[in-house]
Amino acid sequence: MNRTMFITLVSLYGILIVLGMLIAPQAMLQVYGIPALDKFHIALFQLMGMPILGLNVIGLLIRNAETGQGVRAYMTGQAVNLIGFSLLSIYHVIVHGIPSSTFFVVDTGWRVVLGLGMVYYLMRLKPVANLA
């Protein structure tokens, strides 16, 4: 799989998850294992979805770009987003006892794989002069 296809896969997965967050937030929260829902959970969940949507739209727009600072910045940000989300989610489930579900475990594992894939493709990029 080449970098363009990988960025497309990551972006489409992110957009799919965000559409669920925006269109059916109650169902998505229940799928993630959150049993008690209120308007604050739903509002926060939808608000969290918007920056994720923006990041994934950028991914679709930049996927065919030449290797440069923009591609590197996107890939670095997406790797931090995917891996950071997973680590923070695992922390909250283990340490704070936040409810989880099978979907949560699968989604978190998949995000780790995608984040590590982003790091892999980032490391394969050729050096760019004057990155600073």
Q: What is the pLDDT of residues 38-47, one digit of tens each?
A: 899 899 989 9
- pLDDT-based confidence at 108, cuts 50/70/90? very high
Percent of the chain whose pLDDT exceeds 90: 70
> What predicted TM-score, i.e. pTM, was given to this entire model?
0.85
Q: Where are the alpha helices (DSSP H) in the chain?
A: 3-23, 25-31, 39-62, 69-96, 102-124
Taking Cα atoms as reference points, which of 10, 2, 4 lies closest to residue 78?
A: 10
Percent of the chain whose pLDDT exceeds 70: 96
Angle at 56 between CA 36 and CA 109, to 5 degrees: 55
- pLDDT-based confidence at 34, cuts 50/70/90? confident
Average pLDDT of the residues of the chain: 91
Which DSSP state fits 37?
-
- pLDDT-based confidence at 68, cuts 50/70/90? confident
Output the CA–CA distances (angstroms, integers) from residue 11 to 5, 36, 40, 61, 100, in the order listed: 10, 30, 27, 10, 24
